[in-house]
Amino acid sequence: MQPGIKLENFSKSYHAGEVEVHAVRNISLEIQPGEFVAIMGASGSGKSTMMNTIGCLDRPTSGRYFLDGVDVGGLTRDELADLRNQKIGFVFQGFNLLARTSAFENVELPMLYSRPGVRGREQRERAEKALELVGLGERADHQPSQLSGGQQQRVAIARALVNQPKLLLADEPTGNLDTHTSIEIMGIFQDLNRRGMTVIMVTHELDIARYAMRTVVMRDGRIVTDQPVTGRLDAAEELRKLKQEQQAIQLAP
Amino acid sequence: MILLKTFSIAVRALRRNTLRTLLTMLGIIFGVAAVIAMVSLGNGARAQLEASIAALGQNVVTVWSGTMSRGGFRGGFGSSGTLTAEDYEAIRKEVAGVNGVSPEVRNFAQLAAGNQNINSQIMGVGAQYIDIRSWPCSSGENFTEADVRNANKVALIGKTTAEILFADEEPVGQIVRVKSAPFRIVGVLASKGSDMWGRDQDDILLVPYTSAMRRLTGDLTFRSLMLQAASPQILGTVTNQVADLLRQRHRITGGKDDDFMVRTQQETVELFDAQARTTRELLFYVALISLIVGGIGVMNIMLVSVTERTREIGVRLAVGARGLDILLQFLTEAVTLSLTGGALGIAFGVACSRLVTQQLGWPTLTSSGSIVLAFGVSAAIGIFFGFYPSLKASRLDPIDALRYE
Ligand SMILES: Nc1ncnc2c1ncn2[C@@H]1O[C@H](COP(=O)(O)OP(=O)(O)OP(=O)(O)O)[C@@H](O)[C@H]1O
Ligand SMILES: [Mg+2]
């Protein structure tokens, strides 16, 4: 079977003033459709850089990147934009929601740029459905500043899902979130993954990585380990356990 | 559909900073207002010009005492004048193709009848004057050549003056006192309306020029003569004949300057229009500069907006907006900004035109053409000055835009 994602000797370097920063060095990686991959590594190890390339936001400095067999390096700006719109849902490190814009309108955003366009009514329905999926149906008209961090993260996830992409990329989706909310978000990811979506997420936390099927660890722009997860956690199960523990110390009703 | 969405995004973005949006629009508002005012004034002046050409009478040629250079009248005009009674007689006798000739002796004086009085224009003219100007009597009759010869104290009264002095009474046969000299009214002139300066032409008393010169002004010369050519084709010939005759009589030879001026009605009116045109040209430049300044304001605010919203642009690009989508969004914003400014400017301009007419009495005429023009100009400004910032926005790299602090 053709891999969904294939990086071939992929490198990315930046020019910061005089010095050249090698953010990613010569990585080769294959991810099959339907996988759930956690990418780990210290700060600055090149995780976001690799995610940006996989998300078609950026092009490799050298090496090649194939998405569904298509060499992304050879596509035009507009073709990349269409790929991002149709095939990829991206949850950014730090949400990147539009300020002073309601959750609903934030979720609608990708549909504004779909080709062919989405009809007004369908657009509303899909945005509502995506918000319900992340459990934010009631907060549709709240602006980001009126939402908690976890809620903002869910809006970002709803926005990533609204065009029904095959690939979901999440850069530190649980950074700054409490354990309970983190597990809930892992629950959403596991559900989506079970329904066939490829999920790739970056995380610093070992126990969050255990909700994935496979972990890739990076250091200084290189992959140092790439192995399946042993003792994989199930979010529903973990939530139940957590609830019991919290009840014991009266944290939850 | 897409356009509507783009438009609503633009309006939302502009409303987020209402004060800044308004300040940005000021330049456009003034520029467009100036365009509207300019065109209205121009149209008004032209309409009135045409009306006054018709009001002067058909094929009328005026001979002015003194000359008028580019700067205005020079010599003669306003002082005693260079046209004599003999010049007048000579023109009557010697110039062919002329239906009538009449001097014009202008003066202002207090008129009294019964216990009413009014300050009016008294004009001394020949018996042919009202025919030259196609200005018939609505009642009574014109005075005669004999009245002119004998300097009789007879008068034709304008409609306005008649109404003020005599109210509902019939003026013909009544006596009007001009500086205490009693004049008998022989006819009432038909209404002629306002002239090109907005003056009421019906507020007038016409008397034989001989009576006016002898009893009222004491002048011995005329400031102007008016004559009517038999047909439009011979206007040029008549003008030349009159000029030649006067040069000969005034002994003006070789390169010496004329001490008189012969103008057809068209030329006369246009001479006065030149002044109005200067005002309009000035307004045009004011409008142009305002519009350019306004456009630069739009460009400036759009550049600020693009910089401020770099992250937003990054987000839009990241979820699949193409460069063109971003370009259109910002361009729509710029055009919305300039069109709103344009609409406010049109309202302001129309209000100004009304005010000018009301306060200064200048005629204005706001045409739908000028409104369309103003809208077009503001849209063009939005597109022209909004293009560069929009292009800049559309060329941003998604990652750079997202990382922008
Ligand atoms: N636009 C850029 N210009 C210059 N250097 C950059 C740029 N983007 C990333 N880098 C550098 O590339 C390296 C990798 O950055 P990257 O953001 O991929 O790290 P990361 O693994 O995501 O870190 P974190 O866990 O803190 O998010 C860093 O050293 C960073 O300084
Ligand atoms: Mg990162």
Q: Are A37 and A226 in contact (CB under 8 A)?
A: no
Taking an 8 Å cut-off on Cβ atoms, the answer to whether B322 and A96 are in contact is no
Q: Are A226 and A216 in contact (CB under 8 A)?
A: yes
pLDDT over 80 (residue B57):
no
Q: Are B28 and B291 in contact (CB under 8 A)?
A: yes
Measure the N-to-C terminal CA separation of chain A; round to a whole number of Å.
Answer: 49
Task: Give backbone dihedrals phi and psi of B17, rounded to 5 degrees, phi first.
Answer: -135, 70
**Chain A residues closer than 8 Å to B398 by CB:** 57-58
pLDDT over 60 (residue B75):
no
pLDDT over 80 (residue B215):
yes
Using DSSP, state whether B140 is helix, strand or coil. strand
Which residues 62-81 on chain A approach chain B with CB closer than 8 angstroms? 77-78, 81
DSSP sequence for chain A: ---SEEEEEEEEEEEETTEEEEEEEEEEEEE-TT-EEEEEE-TTSSHHHHHHHHTTSS--SEEEEEETTEEGGG--HHHHHHHHHHTEEEEBTTB-PPTTS-HHHHHHHHHHT-SSPPPHHHHHHHHHHHHHHTT-GGGTT--GGGS-HHHHHHHHHHHHHTT--SEEEEESTTTT--HHHHHHHHHHHHHHHHTT-EEEEE-S-HHHHTTSSEEEEEETTEEEEEEEPSS---HHHHHHHHHHHHHHTTS--
Helix pair B265-308, B18-56: axis angle to 10 deg: 170
Residue A245 located in a structural domain? yes
CA distances from B286 to A242, B33, B127, B362, B373 (A): 74, 10, 49, 19, 16
Q: Are B143 and B152 in contact (CB under 8 A)?
A: yes
Q: How far is the CA of A229 from the centre of ligand 2 (A)?
A: 22
pLDDT over 50 (residue B76):
no
pLDDT over 50 (residue A190):
yes
- Domain limits for position A164: 35-62+77-251
pLDDT over 50 (residue B74):
no
Give the lowest-confidence range in B182-191, B246-255, B276-285: B276-285
pLDDT over 90 (residue B51):
no
Q: What is the largest CA-CA distance in chain B?
A: 101
Length of chain A: 253
Residues 6+ apart with CB under 8 A from B317: A81, B326, B396, B398, B401
Residue A10 located in a structural domain? no
Between residues B180 and B350, the one the model is more confident about: B350
Between residues A238 and B69, the one the model is more confident about: A238
Query: Which-ligand-closest: CA of A50?
Result: 1
Taking an 8 Å cut-off on Cβ atoms, the answer to whether A110 and B325 are in contact is no
Whole-number Å distance between alpha carbons of B374 and B367: 11
Mutate to test the interface with B, among A50, A72, A84, A145 (most CBs of B within 10 A): A84
Q: What is the CA radius of gyration of chain B?
A: 32
pLDDT band at residue B286, thresholds of 50, 70 and 90? confident
Of B229, B232, B224, nearest to B106 (Cα)? Answer: B224
Q: What is the mean pLDDT of residues A197-210?
A: 94
Q: How far is the CA of A48 from the centre of ligand 1 (A)?
A: 7
Whole-number Å distance between alpha carbons of B250 and B112: 40
pLDDT in tens, B85-100: 888 989 988 888 888 8
Q: Are B349 and B40 in contact (CB under 8 A)?
A: yes
Taking an 8 Å cut-off on Cβ atoms, the answer to whether B399 and A52 are in contact is yes
Whole-number Å distance between alpha carbons of A97 and A104: 11
Which pLDDT belongs to residue B363? 77
Residue A49 located in a structural domain? yes
Residue A44 located in a structural domain? yes
Of B273, B293, B373, B201, nearest to B41 (Cα)? Answer: B273
Q: Buried (b) or exposed (e) across B85-103, using 16+ Cβ within 10 A?
A: eebbebbbeebebbebbbb
CA distances from B285 to A235, B349, B365 (A): 72, 16, 20
Query: Which-ligand-closest: CA of A52?
Result: 1
Q: How far is the CA of B361 from the centre of ligand 2 (A)?
A: 72
Query: Which-ligand-closest: CA of A42?
Result: 1
Whole-number Å distance between alpha carbons of A6 and A184: 30
Q: How far is the CA of A22 from the centre of ligand 1 (A)?
A: 9
Nearest to B325 among A113, A120, A159 (CB): A113
pLDDT band at residue B195, thresholds of 50, 70 and 90? low
pLDDT in tens, A56-69: 999 899 999 999 99
Between residues B244 and A2, the one the model is more confident about: B244
Q: Where are the alpha helices (DSSP H) in B135-264?
A: 145-149, 159-166, 209-211, 235-249
pLDDT over 90 (residue A40):
yes
Nearest residue of chain B to residue A107 (CA atoms) = B319
Which pLDDT belongs to residue B2? 65
CATH number at residue A118: 3.40.50.300
B381's enclosing H/E stretch is: helix B368-394
Whole-number Å distance between alpha carbons of B364 and B349: 11
Q: What is the mean pLDDT of residues B363-392?
A: 88
Q: Which of A47, A202, A204 to mutate to test the pocket of ligand 1 (most atoms within 8 A of CB)?
A: A47
User: What is the CA angle B257-B263-B264, rounded to 5?
Assistant: 160
Name the β-bridge partners of B72.
Answer: B69
How would you classify the pairing of strands B116-125 and B204-208?
parallel
Tokens 């507009």 belong to residue: A78
Name the β-bridge partners of B124.
Answer: B105, B207
- Look at ligand 1, atom 14, and give the residue with the nearest C-alpha: A46
Query: Which-ligand-closest: CA of A171?
Result: 2
Using the Cβ of A93 and the Cβ atoms of chain B, whether some distance falls under 8 Å is answered with no
pLDDT over 60 (residue B80):
no
Using the Cβ of A57 and the Cβ atoms of chain B, whether some distance falls under 8 Å is answered with yes
Tokens 């300097």 belong to residue: B151
Residue A24 located in a structural domain? no
Q: What is the DSSP letter of B234?
A: G
Q: How far is the CA of A49 from the centre of ligand 1 (A)?
A: 6
Q: How far is the CA of A218 from the centre of ligand 1 (A)?
A: 13
Q: Buried (b) or exposed (e) across A126-145, using 16+ Cβ within 10 A?
A: bbbebbebbebeebbebbbe
Nearest to A117 among B2, B312, B402 (CB): B2
Please give all residues whose beta carbon lies within 6 A of any atom in ligand 1, as ranges: A 14, 16, 21, 23, 41, 43-49, 93; B 403
Q: Please, which residues have CB less than 5 A from ligand 2, an ion?
A: A 48, 93
The rounded mean pLDDT for chain B is 85
Measure the N-to-C terminal CA separation of chain B; round to a whole number of Å.
Answer: 33
Q: What is the mean pLDDT of residues A61-81?
A: 93
Residue A8 located in a structural domain? no
Count how many domains chain A has. Answer: 1
Secondary structure percentages of chain B, helix, strand, coil, to 5:
55, 20, 25
Using the Cβ of B309 and the Cβ atoms of chain A, whether some distance falls under 8 Å is answered with no
Mutate to test the interface with B, among A83, A113, A118 (most CBs of B within 10 A): A113
Annotated domain spans of chain B: 2-51+271-403, 83-249
Whole-number Å distance between alpha carbons of B162 and B159: 5
How would you classify the pairing of strands A36-41 and A198-202?
parallel
The rounded mean pLDDT for chain A is 92
**Chain B residues closer than 8 Å to A77 by CB:** 322-323
pLDDT band at residue A29, thresholds of 50, 70 and 90? very high
